[in-house]
Chain A
Amino acid sequence: MNTMVYEPRGFTRSLETGAAWLLGFLWVLPLLYAFWTAFHPPEFSTRFDLTAPLTLDNFARAWSAAPFARYCFNTVLLVTMVLGAQLVLVTLAAYAFARFEFPGRNVLFALVLVQLMVMPDVLIVENYRTMTALGLKDTILAIGLPYMASAFGIFLLRQTFKGVPRELDEAARVEGCTPLQVLWKVYVPLARPTYLAYALVSVSYHWNNFLWPLIITNSVESRPVTVGLQVFSATDQGIDWSIITAATLLTSAPLLVAFLLFQRQFVQSFMRAGIR
């Protein structure tokens, strides 16, 4: 333990533990509240009675009131497509930046980094125009396309590739590997933790993305689950909170479950992705 000498003791320690727990409680409170409402009949949605009967009825009603199965399918498709394309594009680009000498390399790298600031999220007006021109409006491809070349991924992987010892690279070449074989056999396997980190960050980002999908889609066939949820809670339901919270939990459940199962990997991945 690194700060052991400065660990609080005695009264300070109890005070800090109490404060930490209070903050933790406040942090999960909105979620607990949502769980309470979703798992109890509507008449108990704001009445806290420990004897209230538990029910899955709200989930059943939400599930049948909107095509959530289709929305979830769309999101899974979107997330898979984006991640697949990102992994390929980002790997190739990062390899070029990390290990090849060519004119314009620094300028091009600077151009890539521009996307860290000017994300597709803010260029909605022009990207909508482009998608219309390409005839891709209201498709899942259109939701994912602007994000497929990810500056963040290129940056992250370039750092990792640069850390690979040159000797390994050269040894593989002596064995007669082409540059692409070297990439596949040496760099990619060594960068696996980075890939995992990037994949988790990317999946949660695109699962949660909302504004751009909201703009570019307008049919059940292409809407991801976030937009579906918004359409559902804004129009179909008045203020039936039981069913809305049930739908909300339903849409976040896959990520939440994945997070609880792979907690350690998630946290480490986000850490790794943040340290440059």
Chain B
Amino acid sequence: MTRTTQWVYGWLLLLPAMALLVLFTHYPAVATLWHSFFSTPKGSRPVVFVGADNYRQLVEDPIFWQALANNIWYAVGTIVPSIVIALLMAVWVNERIPGRGVLRLAYFTPTILPMIAVANIWLFFYTPEYGLLEKFLGWFGAPSQNWLGSKSTALAALMVVTIWKEAGFFMIFYLAALQSMSPHLAEAAAIEGASRWYFFRRVTFPLLMPTTLFVLVNAVINAFRLVDHIVVMTRGGPDNATALLLYYVYEIGFRFWDSAYAAALTMVLLAVLGLVALAQFFFLERKVHYQ
């Protein structure tokens, strides 16, 4: 094949996928930036260039700051526990524990259910007075509590749902990594007299670093991308205590129909995702131990 035919084939094969990618990923990302400098069309009022007005509004918007703070707390509060639990699950189902197959199934099942369905079930679970959680705590004489209706507990209650849904998913990757580890490592370490915990800390965990990085990046993206459960369970309330960035974008864009301000908010979201990408590229890749 000549070089020119190679070129033509390469470009033609790419064309359909590239066209759709440009139309629904690259163009909208750029258009978001563009539209964030204009006003929202309202009735007969035309769109005008407003410069940084939308961003000024953003800086002065307490709900935005709260949504950002909520999202950061939500990210930290879901990522760390779900990774720890996932690792624990993987170690357990990798051992010859009785009923390993059933356990693996139990851990993994929440992953394949729709978040929206899961949210409905958890909504019921958390219901004041009727819910299972209330009943259970009631046996211990704990006072009734509106988990999703109180500002101090609502976000934590949502985090629990996310951890529950994600841990089994992350477990799979750890399990795959554990199963591909050479048994000689453990044998050699045992001969050297390393304790189990020492072996885990100094050998297993460092070798799992690429998996941890992969899971971490996924978890961060999910923390900013997935707000289905918020729509079902709290609608951002009470008093914006559970408003996350994307949910706030949805609310501004599709309930108040302020598309220009929603564009400015989306830019923040894109900036966060861009930072994640940069961090992954420049910082984490170097610290990871590859086999």
Contacts and interface: CB of A to CB of B under 8 A. Distances in A.
A256 B32 contact: no
Contacts of B99: 21
A219 interface: no
A89 B16 contact: yes
A23 interface: yes
B209 interface: no
A18 B187 CA distance: 26
Interface in A51-110: 88-90, 92-93, 95-97, 100-103, 105, 108
A28 B124 contact: no
B162 to A, nearest CB: 13
Contact of A102 (B10, B25, B116, B204): B10
A126 B263 contact: yes
Contacts of B26: 111, 114
B199 interface: yes
B141 to A, nearest CB: 19
Nearest to A28: B106
B14 A96 contact: yes
B181 interface: yes
- Chain B interface secondary structure, helix, strand, loop or mixed? helix
A114 B253 CA distance: 24
A7 interface: yes
B48 interface: no
B99 to A, nearest CB: 7
A184 B190 CA distance: 50
Interface in A223-261: 226, 229-230, 233-234, 239, 241, 244-245, 248-249, 251-252, 255-256, 259-260
A50 interface: no
B20 A101 contact: no
B156 interface: no
B18 interface: yes
- Chain A interface secondary structure, helix, strand, loop or mixed? helix
Interface string B210-243: 0000100000010011111001100000000000
A27 B107 contact: yes
A259 B190 contact: no
Given A8-B196, A93-B18, A27 B109 contact: yes
Nearest to B245: A122
B120 A244 contact: yes
Interface stretch (B54-62, B143-151, B164-172): B164-172
Contact of B266 (A21, A123, A148): A123
Which residue among A16, A102, A128, A229 has the maximum number of chain B CB atoms within 10 Å of its CB?
Answer: A102
Interface residues of A, number: 97
Contacts, number: 293
B113 A95 contact: no
Contact of B24 (A2, A7, A16, A149): A149
B274 A117 contact: yes
Given A122-B270, A208-B115, A3 B32 contact: no
Given A33-B124, A126-B31, A274-B172, A2 B117 contact: no
Contacts of A114: 25-26, 29
Contact of B231 (A2, A148, A210, A270): A210
A34 B124 contact: yes
B192 to A, nearest CB: 11
A108 B130 CA distance: 55
A24 interface: yes
A5 B10 contact: no
Which residue among A37, A101, A117, A275 has the maximum number of chain B CB atoms within 10 Å of its CB?
Answer: A117
Interface in B1-25: 1, 3, 6-7, 9-11, 13-14, 16-21, 23-25
B44 interface: no
A138 to B, nearest CB: 14
Given A130-B24, A226-B116, A101 B10 contact: yes
A263 B104 CA distance: 10
A210 B228 contact: yes
A274 B168 CA distance: 13
Interface in A36-51: 37, 45-46
Given A45-B130, A229-B117, 4 more contacts: A92-B17, A96-B14, A100-B13, A114-B26
18 contacts: A3-B204, A5-B186, A27-B168, A31-B121, A89-B20, A90-B17, A92-B17, A112-B17, A121-B226, A124-B254, A125-B32, A233-B232, A244-B124, A248-B121, A249-B117, A255-B113, A274-B173, A275-B173
Interface of B: 1, 3, 6-7, 9-11, 13-14, 16-21, 23-29, 31-32, 35, 85, 88-89, 92-99, 102-118, 120-122, 124-125, 127, 130-132, 135, 164, 168-169, 172-173, 175-176, 178-179, 181-183, 186-187, 189-190, 196, 199-200, 204, 214, 221, 224-228, 231-232, 246, 249-250, 253-254, 259, 262-263, 266, 269-270, 273-274, 276-277
Q: When A and B form their complex, which 9 residue pairs have the shortest distance between CB atoms, in order from nearest? A: A102-B10, A126-B28, A100-B10, A149-B20, A96-B13, A208-B114, A93-B17, A146-B24, A2-B183
